[in-house]
Amino acid sequence: MPHSYQLYAFPVTIFAHLLFIAVATLVLIWLLKFREGVAVNFSNKSEILNLHTLMMMIGFVLVGGEAVIVHKAFEVKSRSVKVVHLLLHLIALASGIFGVILVFKAEVHPHHMVTLHSWLGMIAICSFGLQYMLAFCTYFFPRAEMSTRASLKPWHRLIGMVIFLLAACTAETGIVQRFQFLELGRNREALILNFSGLLLFLFAVSVGLSVILPRYH
């Protein structure tokens, strides 16, 4: 392929960062302006469900995506970048677990774990947790042998991307489920939800491209 037509990861990561800001802004506008806001007050089921949405969309999916592309955002390969990668994934995992607890506390549906959204969400959370623990023991403490780490690295990247895309699909099905639950029509709130889902899809595509593309020539 001619050099002039080669696509590199760095501009894609910039685009992903902009999408992060756009999706987070739309979600906050929707929850704070059109819904009742967020709270941990278990007596208000609607606000708990809103906090669940906030934790999963921004904390779990968006921050998790940023953790995936942090290696392509910096040119240097240092331990500090790996630490940032680890901490961002930890924030995403903690947000996801907290979000799952909140949705059970909200008791929106009479029976839990009956929708595709709930199935995908639980699979994503459990897989994310197992992947995190395995990666921590392999690459941080107590750390495996260099040859073992090198052989596991492609699988670590592949499984990580699969889990991230699963989390993005879970968020998209969650948006559809909120649409059905709220019975939204053609109004500004519906537009915000639609654009949030569309930009979230583009964010997932950008994260995937940043992983497979080279950083520079």
Distance CA(184)–CA(193), nearest Å, equals 10
Q: For the segment 17-71, what is each residue's pLDDT rounded down to a tens digit?
A: 999 999 999 999 999 988 888 877 767 778 888 999 999 999 999 999 999 999 8
Q: For the segment 57-115, what is each residue's pLDDT rounded down to a tens digit?
A: 999 999 999 999 998 876 656 778 889 999 999 999 999 999 999 888 776 655 567 88
Residue 217 reports pLDDT greater than 90: no
pLDDT of residue 97: 96
Q: For the segment 127-140, what is each residue's pLDDT rounded down to a tens digit?
A: 999 999 999 999 88
Please enumerate, as own/partner, the contacts of 160-164 that have beta carbons within 8 Å and a separation of 24 or more: 160/68, 160/131, 161/68, 161/207, 161/208, 161/211, 163/124, 163/127, 163/128, 163/131, 164/61, 164/64, 164/65, 164/68, 164/204, 164/207
Task: Locate the domains of the chain by residue range.
Answer: 8-212
Joined tokens for residue 180: 């059905």
pLDDT of residue 35: 86
Classify domain 8-212 by CATH architecture: Up-down Bundle (1.20)
Q: For the segment 125-180, what is each residue's pLDDT rounded down to a tens digit?
A: 999 999 999 999 998 888 888 888 889 999 999 999 999 999 999 999 999 888 77
Q: For the segment 179-213, what is each residue's pLDDT rounded down to a tens digit?
A: 777 666 568 888 899 999 999 999 999 999 999 98
